Amino acid sequence: MLWNALLLAFREIRRNVLRSFLTILGVVIGVASVIVMVTLGNGATRAVATQIESMGSNLLMIRKGQHMGPGQTSSAPAFDLEDTVALERDIPAIKSLAPSATDSITAVVGNASWATSVNGTDNRFFSVRNWTLERGRLFSASELSGGRAACVIGATVRKELFGPQDPLGSNLRLKQISCEVIGLLVGKGQSSMGFDQDDLVVMPLRTFQRRIAGNQDVTLIQVSIRDGESTERAKTDIERLLRERRKVAAGEQDNFSVRDMKEVATMLTGTTEVLTTLLSAVAAVSLLVGGIGIMNIMLVSVTERTREIGIRLAIGALEREVLMQFLVEAVTLSSLGGVLGILLALGASIGLADMLKVPFVFNGGIVLTAFLFSAAVGVIFGYFPARRAARLDPIEALRRE
Amino acid sequence: MTAATASAKNALLTWPRPASPEPAGQPLLEFRQVSKIYGTGTAAMRALDGVDLRISPGEFVAVMGPSGSGKSTAMNILGCLDTPSAGSYLFRGVAVETLSHDQRARLRRHYLGFVFQGFNLLNRTSALENVELPLIYRRAPRAERHARARAALAQVGLTGWEGHTPGELSGGQQQRVAIARAIVTEPSLLLADEPTGNLDTARSHEVMELLVGLNRDQGITVLMVTHEAEMAAYAHRIIHFRDGRVADDGRAGGPV
Ligand SMILES: Nc1ncnc2c1ncn2[C@@H]1O[C@H](COP(=O)(O)OP(=O)(O)OP(=O)(O)O)[C@@H](O)[C@H]1O
Ligand SMILES: [Mg+2]
């Protein structure tokens, strides 16, 4: 019986190339879209986690005011170098810290210009933030004390302003000052999620304060915590010390913020997880649409095939033989579509992951779910309408045109 | 149900079909006051109106009558493709309306060959595959299936056309494929609804000779609807339908 059903089903598949192709296509699209979206979402989540790690996960960022990120409008007082000295002296958990002042400035070299983030700081910045030099050198004592303007540039700035030329020794124009490029940073290479760590220019704090900011403010203190020390504890200690130094009355809100980059990491990964959920929802919709496509083709073809069912019944087929044939046909087409869909999805995911610079994260559960769902749709909508037709008197089935 | 009819019913549903000839005197087919009504109320249409009919094994019967007189309706019921609205249809003494869907399918499979007025071939399927189909459901092995289907197509003069699909065949050729499909199983009853409707006179006579041969040499009972007196003359008996009733039922003279 099964052998006969296989024979008949394969004849039908061969006989109706277009219809078979469309059914397979519906399954392929449904399966492929879900797998691709979920895979990319998972990849993005992992990318963010890795990226945060590369910034240094035992890193605390102390900013004035309660806002985070650039463009802050807080009227809270800035820090000064005294604060950094006090922090280093009084909190033993601090391994190193770097005072900074930052601004977004358009850097110009010849005809090329590039808006970047300029960071006035000192040599400790590089160790606190895990930067290594590709070539050149760090700032000299005379440069740090406000002598000749010098700067170290990130890979993105280098690419945008110098292209293939060697930037070392060239001058970079920042507003009204010109500074010599003395060092090139090794790229961190993570530029997904709209956040490019390599897009920066580093210069001595003193030079930045005098010639760009025009004040003595330190707006950001980046602190690295010793291995084995609790960042949580260090954070509390820093907060207590700074409240004291900045004379924040008890019960009043902090006029600064201390952010643990681990928290930021958790927050950002949380965001991408939301994104993954969203993508999965979109994917579920496409799976459903794919399913409706399969359903339509199956329903239309069964109506069309009611006459065929009538003929088969008239020449002696039993109801269950006709059904077995339709079942085999639906299972074959759905499985074929499922397998092709999975292959397509894996190919597309690997390609897209590469293009979007997110890692390829394989998720077996979703592959299985997508496959089973599409196959079930194909089988259910291939089988049940056929069953209705096969229960008719042959002459009834033959009359349905 | 009596023991006799129960055993008749069992005999009907087993394969191979009993080799013994039908019990003498028992009709192969019997209509008892069979009616078929389409639609309901004032729109009701009596396609068959209390038809009584008996056909013995080995007969060659022609069915004639004006268009719309109920010939095809009667053939569909005789072929177990349709059920009467009222009355009883006995096949070898078994009331067909008491059989289940599957039992009627088995009856068609084991005993019947049916040539439809509208052919009803599978589209986009070769003539050979169409003719093979009833053999697939009879579980004939592949080689036997091919040989028998080729032989049946040869009998209707379609050697060389095995690979053509219905769309590539003329109406007359399609009709002959339909005949080949009906005879390939060597049924005990062949029901043919206007088997020569699309054929020229020469071909019609060839088909009639084929039917006569099957009837005479293999003892196949043949019931054939035709509009042409010339073809009806091949039959032993001619039944005339008018307005869903049997208007005339008598012996014919044999081939002209
Ligand atoms: N499915 C149906 N629904 C309603 N009426 C039907 C149906 N099938 C047949 N009829 C009617 O029943 C009557 C008998 O039809 P039938 O097909 O048996 O005629 P026929 O004798 O075979 O005619 P023809 O020689 O033209 O083939 C006709 O009046 C037809 O309109
Ligand atoms: Mg008719």
Distance CA A125, CA A134 (A): 16
Query: By residue range, what is the domain housing residue A338?
Result: 2-51+267-399
Residue B4's pLDDT is what?
66
Six-digit token string for A397 = 């089935």
* B128, pLDDT greater than 70: yes
Distance CA A180, CA A52 (A): 30
Residue A17's pLDDT is what?
86
| Averaged pLDDT, B48-77 | 95
Same domain assignment for residues A35 and A130? no
Give the position of tokens 């930045």. A208
B157 falls within a domain:
yes
B181/A310 CB distance under 8 A: no
Top-ranked range on mean pLDDT: pick from A7-21, A165-179, A258-272, B72-86: B72-86
A294 falls within a domain:
yes
Distance CA A155, CA A356 (A): 19
Domain boundary, last residue among A200, A230, A254: A254
Contact A368, A284 (CB under 8 A): no
Same domain assignment for residues A322 and A189? no
Same domain assignment for residues A182 and A92? yes
Residue A124's pLDDT is what?
92
Looking at per-residue pLDDT, the higher value among B222 and A79 belongs to: B222
Instruction: Work out how many domains chain A is built from and give that number.
Output: 2
Nearest 5°: phi and psi at A109? Answer: -135, 115
* B71, pLDDT greater than 50: yes
Query: By residue range, what is the domain housing residue B76?
Result: 55-83+100-251
Domain boundary, last residue among A204, A221, A254: A254
| Averaged pLDDT, A196-224 | 90
Q: Is A164 helix (H, G, I), strand (E, B) or coil?
A: coil
B105/A317 CB distance under 8 A: yes
* A300, pLDDT greater than 80: no
pLDDT over 90 for what percent of chain B? 77
Same domain assignment for residues A118 and A201? yes
Give the position of tokens 């039992």. B103
B180 falls within a domain:
yes
Residue B256's pLDDT is what?
38
Strand B94-95 with B112-115, pairing? unpaired
A61 falls within a domain:
no
Angle between helices A17-55 and A261-314 (to 10 degrees): 170
Is the Cβ of B39 closer than 8 Å to some Cβ of chain A? no
Residue type, A139: F
**What CATH number is associated with residue B186?**
3.40.50.300
Atom 25 of ligand 1, nearest CA residue: B67
Continuous H helices in A56-112: 81-90
B112 contacts in A (CB within 8 Å)?
A: 316
Instruction: Work out how many domains chain B is built from and give that number.
Output: 1
Please count the residue pairs, one from chain A and one from chain B, whose beta carbons lie less than 8 angstroms apart.
70
Same domain assignment for residues A228 and A121? yes
